Amino acid sequence: SGVIEPSADDYETTARLIEAGEILGIKVVDHLIVASGTGEYYSFASEGDMERIQEELDRERFRVREQER
């Protein structure tokens, strides 16, 4: 679509990629959105989103573990 700003679906996909990587023992270090034609891109890592998403996943796992107690 030529839009490089991440959507809610992009954030969800990134979180799922991180989780899949953890299962496979692969660290996902970035997720890029590349605009067709212009070469512009959005880097989740450069914008700090990878770290924020990982923190959210960690908090959710902690909440789940606490609820299971």
Q: What is the mean pLDDT of each run of 10 residues along the chain (69 residues)?
A: 87 97 97 90 97 96 89
Quote the pTM value.
0.84
Cβ-count burial of 43 within 10 angstroms (0-12 exposed, 13-18 middle, 19+ buried)?
middle
Q: What is the DSSP letter of 32?
A: E
Q: What is the pLDDT of residue 69?
A: 83
Q: What pLDDT was estimated at residue 39?
A: 86
Alpha helices for 1-69 (secondary structure H): 8-24, 49-68
Compute the residue count for the chain. Answer: 69
Q: Name which of 15, 55, 52, 8 is nearest 31 in CA terms.
A: 15
